[in-house]
Structure 1
């Protein structure tokens, strides 16, 4: 039996993927959020964290974990999750942590920490050191975990199903009519979080002599106060050439936005925004990311060409639109092969059964 711990509605979609492609009776999912679309093999705890509300419920959850051949934990954010795992450390050798990004980087990118954060990190260190496996498709993130937490956990290369919705993007690409206003489009960042480093990259883009472009800046989720600061700064530098996206769009509408841009620029200081980046590469767009984050190394390893955001930061007048379309076609082919559903099934089979 394989036990998966679901902590969001997104991972509920993953549970459906597992049920459709693997033996349903061999998997049990533990739901720890309130709004799960329940499946037959989801055992819902009725609470948000592992600190279950009754002794009876706690025994039930532990019984499932104890009988499982492998446990898959989807992200490791909550201190309650960390404490529960530490109290049941005998389970850790058969536990695989599916790393999301923030559950690794949030602590290490902060200069100051609260007592709660320091305490959580000490406990987390004890948990990670004993884990049996770590799953992520960016191997550099796994290497960073090994460096920071001195763990010998096995590396599993995998990704969630449908990181790139090929059909949706193909439809958006064929249906999107790009307005001939004379202004090309730059997609900047993916969210209203400080790790996008908006202010630095906006300043650099404002120094480009060629003003025949507008900036589309997704800010619909994250820190709303930070989003307001970015919007104010963007308008100051670019006026009506700055177009913030502050409302959530449907998948179809957002795909049209991605299909309409000419180039995408990301200035993240950690692995972030991979869903956006993969979609843009599949669409054949020119994509900039920083060369000092694990994502850059990942793409280079897989023969996917991306460009270094630092070139924009260093050069006052770089031509960000110059691009060989053959590179875009090759990138698209690699993405289509490497992130297919067949490949996804193959990789998760290794996580579950090896």
Structure 2
């Protein structure tokens, strides 16, 4: 059987899930290439048959000799290295359809989104020049361009070469069109079904929730924790509710600033989660919250948000976030963070709203729906 699709993937906990689902639908038609920063480091997947290539070694990978055989090039998480590779290999790929699956960071790390992604408190901790490592200084990239090496100019130009863009968030597509010159056809797409996210027990029964307030999902600056802490401190000056913030990965400087303010404002009522834990135990930890606040102005943490809503947690989102726009368009009950009140924080989501949210999410992200998304992607 002839291989039809070359699928680029990052080193992610989702990598094997994506491969397994793709093979379940189109077995033997795909080749997978995981692009990593350092090939000597352990990967976050266990399948030893997956081809792994270091960022700077794409041109020397065995896949180069096969490029003209592929009908589709599917890019999960676009990077400057992949963009440069695609631009240099346009002649071999002229017959292939190029498909970009947006993962958030590959879109919103562009400097044009600095003013959109971060609040003033976040920017005070991490000035703009510390947030755009992917791009760096123009002079440096002009030199790289002259040397024929990956650079931001070839990366930016590569976005216009995609024929299709896959995401569930229409605003992401609009932003990519506006900022990056994307001219691709939009394919609605989501990675995971509820059955993949939750155990059968969680799917059938609503968990008993705690009374903590969860803020953010990681130590990345896009969470804009500091504004949320300030707002909670203002609304609940004698707070008796524990503030829980997962900080298992992110920017070290930013994480220290988050911990410093959290400890100052909430003292012994401030709790962080700084170690990676198995998914089952992670959801058990999330169930300790009755309220969750995500101050992302860009699309991020969708899996966490969806999981919390399905469990019955009252979720507040920044109204600029594509996730807020998407969920409210389906009448899922989430709340506008900019209008958050003391009563909002103290009162959990009603039983009726919990049941309605679970019913809508069950329809939108059921197994059959996700299979259809993958099928549409691979026949584009």
State TM-score, norm by structure 1. 0.87
Residues 30-76 of structure 1: per-residue CA shift (max 9 Å, x gap) = 23344354476x4x2x531263364xx4xx42333321111101111
Correspondent of 1:17 among 8, 16, 21: 21
After superposition, residues 322-341 of structure 1 pair within 5 angstroms as 322=347, 323-341=349-367
Aligned length: 338
How many Å separate the matches in 2 of 1:291 and 1:239? 29
Give 2:323's aligned residue: 295
**By how many angstroms is 1:17 displaced?**
1.5
Q: Are positions 1:115 and 2:137 aligned together? A: yes
How many Å separate the matches in 1 of 2:333 and 2:371? 26
How many Å separate the matches in 2 of 1:164 and 1:151? 33
How many Å separate the matches in 2 of 1:71 and 1:144? 22
Alpha carbons of 1:352 and 1:53: their partners in 2 closer, same or farther (altered >3 Å)? closer
Alpha carbons of 1:176 and 1:318: their partners in 2 closer, same or farther (altered >3 Å)? closer
SS of residue paired to 1:71: strand
Alpha carbons of 1:220 and 1:170: their partners in 2 closer, same or farther (altered >3 Å)? same
Give 2:308's aligned residue: 280
Residues 277-314 of structure 1: per-residue CA shift (max 9 Å, x gap) = 000111121100011121111112222121011113xx
RMSD of the TM alignment (CA)?
2.5
* Cα contact 1:2–1:70 (8 A) shared by 2: yes
Q: Are positions 1:74 and 2:84 aligned together? A: no
Q: Are positions 1:319 and 2:323 aligned together? A: no
How many Å separate the matches in 1 of 2:375 and 2:59? 34
How many Å separate the matches in 2 of 1:140 and 1:97? 15
How many Å separate the matches in 2 of 1:199 and 1:340? 35
Give 1:98's aligned residue: 101
* Cα contact 2:194–2:367 (8 A) shared by 1: no
**By how many angstroms is 1:318 displaced?**
4.7
**By how many angstroms is 1:261 displaced?**
1.1
Could you tell me which runs of 5 or more consecutive residues in structure 2 were left unpaired when the two chains were aligned: 115-127, 143-150
Give 2:279's aligned residue: 251
**By how many angstroms is 1:250 displaced?**
1.6
Q: Are positions 1:30 and 2:33 aligned together? A: yes
**By how many angstroms is 1:178 displaced?**
5.9
How many Å separate the matches in 2 of 1:331 and 1:132? 34
